[in-house]
Amino acid sequence: METWRLLTNRSSNAFYNMAVDEAIMILHSKNKVPPTLRFYSWKPAALSLGYFQKAKEEINYPKCQEEEIDLVRRLTGGRAILHDQELTYSLIIREDFNLLADSIEKSYQQISSGLVRGLQQLLGIPAELKAVERGKKAPVGHSAACFDAPSWYEVILNNKKLIGSAQRRKDGTILQHGSLPLAINAEKIFKLLNYSSEQQRKKASRIFTLKSTSLRKAGYNFSHSELENAIAAGLSQSLGIELTEGKLTAAEIKLAQKLVLEKYQTQDWNFKR
């Protein structure tokens, strides 16, 4: 059974959160730190962009500043997420461990199965996987926001998207992020996105509300530690791994601080598209 490091929740700003995940990814790719499952939250609230999103076209940056919402670009793909009342996980492992499938879609299934198992078995939350319908493409959303439509193998609750995940593979290493909202404020999210008219904004917000959910909206009120324990146990069982609590190394902290200053806080990175 493979031993992984477990890093439990810590609130940090958007730039440091993204820098830590990349620092772990870089040093794990060099075999200097173990495979890692990390839980964290965001303080202050932040809007994260998918790697390929066009910031100037899709995001109302002056509104973000007015609302005191940090803006950061992720390494992973997908669409914009407002990280506010939520628990975030990241999972980092080299491909040569041969634990996750070569196919991104299949590896989503493996990871999501663990998320669902933990939520179901330990917390009694009847979460499910969004099943693949033969011959159909993954659902397409209607806005720049994540959570407005679940893709295949994402976690749903009451047939609405609950956990949004995105993956990046680089230098033979897999990084997957996932966002589990405790609560969602659709009006707040859609203030931060650009639309051609208020009518289009309201329409996108309504669709988002119909297709997404949060734990509190579904009637569940668990703490971060309860959710962390459940998800960690579910992933441990599904992936056949052993999790041992640890902490960031001095090298990871130093590299993360460097990445904050030289990358994640910069306009060049956040507005590169």
3-state secondary structure 117-132: HHHHHHHCCCCEECCC
Dist CA 153 CA 112 (whole Å): 6
Contact present, 43 and 12 (Cβ < 8 Å): yes
Centroid of chain to Cα 139 = 18
**Residues whose CB is less than 8 angstroms from the CB of residue 198 and which lie 6 or more positions away in sequence, other chains included:** none
Dist CA 52 CA 74 (whole Å): 9
Q: Is 64 a catalytic residue?
A: no
From 47, 87, 146, 243, active-site residue = 146
Please, is 268 exposed, middle or buried when counting C-beta atoms within 10 Å of its C-beta (0-12, 13-18, 19+)? exposed
Pair type for strands 46-49 and 81-83: antiparallel
125, amino acid identity: I
Q: Catalytic amino acids? A: 146
